[in-house]
Chains A and B, each alone.
Chain A
């Protein structure tokens, strides 16, 4: 597998990044905050009022270093994208398959199956570690039957329905997993999140989604044309398709660890007048550091049977999808926790 490179998260407001020979320099006013060799980086994420010189943008675009901009609170704004890379035949196949309901259903069904199986693993893990819990057992059984229905689904719409049912079933018992963390969770609320857990989930999903976009672009796929998610202008549908595999297994598990180990606590959030809840700046920095550490943890990929860091999963899945479209495999092989 390829090497997992570092990601630079710029959270300091009013900072400015520019290129100096083969390095990236971070400044705030006249003060130099840091300098890194460019080729040791896989991506740069800028939060809030951060500016980047056009030359650095061009250099990163040419060298496969992704740059993305977020609001201070982690909502995605934009990314720098260089010349279109990769194979036009691959994208042609992607579009043709996206237009074909049977082909789309085949792939969508596997994305959703992986999502459900991974959600179910989160629940089973809790049951294994902390003993009987009838709510969790019932939910795990319902997810198992969703999985069986996904197996024989006749259309993408049916797959979407199964996915919706499974997600609401899973989130209806998610509060059981927040053991004594001091946080309550009453279901998934987005745009804006109105409680800390939803704020954390949205933030992490947003980060992983952008890693999926980069990974898909990196292997030459079009992140905007999906199989499960419908085309909608400005929506990275294929990245959202791919995200399904990582929601429970990577993002949710990470959020649960953070709050159950009390690495993030209620004092780390502020509630705005609108009721929207967001992370304080220090906590966001801590969260990004822990997220970065998590990405370096290794696991065995269930299909590839190779050790690889979690941070490379978007790339390995994008590659497997591309190879499936190019005819190397008969089925797409999603990431499933084994």
Chain B
């Protein structure tokens, strides 16, 4: 269990490697409007019970794990069509994004399912609460490779125990709940040497 990576960490890493390090290496956590809304949404989704509609079974809050990738976590919804087709579905409070953050998480979930059930998963989905729309995620070789390399990056950052510098894209910082703890503006540049020197000059 020790060096297993939580599935949700991938999204943190994709969003910002420093955010990932603050949460998963430094154990920092702070809530803002977005995280609180996400948490409440997940509390609601997680409480649902499994149900069967025709030949599709819907299982909620499914525990996932991959020995091979050292991944563990929870899936919001698993749709089982017949006995062979498994579709992981993730709930997000926001809206669809151009970048792959959310898709990577779904892909990693699919990789876990493939390992656990020895099957092939071809697609996943993301339900976006803000626009109330479902986006299909095709598990292409490109997305799989991207996901695998990100999992590797996450593991190696944890092993090094390093916290990277803030990212240069300030717009992401504005929505980040860890902004105060991270101090992107303070630590993007290091002026400490000059500050310390001036302390002795008067």
Contact B199 A89, beta carbon cutoff 8 Å: no
Let me know if A328 and B202 touch, CB within 8 A.
no
Q: How far is it, in angstroms, between the C-alpha of A312 and the C-alpha of B200 when the chains are bound?
A: 25
Find out whether the CB atom of A333 lies under 8 angstroms from the CB atom of B200: no
Residues of chain A from 105 to 125 with CB closer than 8 A to chain B in the complex? 110, 113-114, 117
Chain B 160-171 per-residue mask, 1 if CB under 8 angstroms from chain A, else 0:
011101000000
A329 within 8 A of B: yes
| Given A86-B27, A87-B25, A304-B186, A328-B196 contact (CB < 8 Å) | no
**B187 CB–A CB distance under 8 Å:** yes
In the complex the two chains form, what is the Cα distance from A249 to B25 in whole Å? 35
Name the distance in Å between B45's Cβ and chain A's nearest Cβ: 25
- Quick check: B26 and A328 within 8 Å, CB to CB? no
Contact status B200-A86, CB under 8 Å: no
Q: Which residue of B lies closest to A152 (CB)?
A: B200
Are B195 and A90 neighbours in the complex by a CB distance under 8 Å? Answer: no
Contact status A1-B202, CB under 8 Å:
no
Other A-B contacts than A326-B163, A328-B190, 9 sampled, CB-CB below 8 A, are A86-B28, A89-B25, A113-B199, A147-B202, A148-B200, A304-B183, A323-B186, A328-B187, A332-B192
CA distance A147 to B196 in the complex (A): 12
Q: Are B183 and A319 in contact (CB under 8 A)?
A: yes
Compute how far the CA of A293 lies from the CA of B195 in the bound complex, rounded to whole angstroms.
Answer: 30
25 contacts between A and B (CB under 8 A): A1-B180, A85-B27, A86-B26, A86-B27, A87-B27, A87-B28, A110-B196, A113-B200, A148-B200, A150-B200, A219-B181, A303-B191, A303-B195, A304-B183, A323-B186, A326-B26, A326-B163, A327-B162, A327-B163, A328-B163, A328-B183, A329-B192, A331-B192, A331-B193, A333-B196
Contact B183 A89 (CB under 8 A): no
CB-CB under 8 A from B196, the residues of chain A are 110, 331-333
Alpha-carbon distance between A219 and B190 when the two chains are bound, in angstroms = 20
Most buried by A among B165, B180, B181, B199: B199
Select B202's contact among A90, A114, A117, beta carbons within 8 Å: A117
Establish whether residues A330 and B26, one from each chain, have CB atoms under 8 Å apart when the complex forms. Answer: no
- Given A148-B200, A303-B195, verify A328-B180 contact (CB < 8 Å): no
User: What range describes how many residues of B lie at the interface?
Assistant: 20 to 34
What is the interface of chain A mostly: helix, strand, loop, or mixed?
loop
> A151 contacts the other chain (Cβ, under 8 Å)?
yes
A333 touches B195 (CB 8 A): yes
B26-A87 in contact (CB<8A): yes
What is the bound-complex CA distance between A89 and B193, given in angstroms?
24
Given the known interface contacts A86-B27, A89-B25, the answer about A330 and B192 at a Cβ–Cβ threshold of 8 Å is: yes
Q: How far is the CB of A148 from chain B (nearest CB, A)?
A: 7
Interface presence of A223 (CB below 8 A) = no
CB distance from A120 to the nearest CB of B (A): 8
Chain A residues with CB under 8 Å of B180's CB are 1-2
The reply to whether the CB of A334 lies closer than 8 angstroms to some CB of chain B is: yes
Q: Does A256 contact B (CB under 8 A)?
A: no
Closest B residue to A315 using CB positions: B180
List, in ascending order, chain A residues with CB within 8 A of B192's CB: 303, 324, 329-333
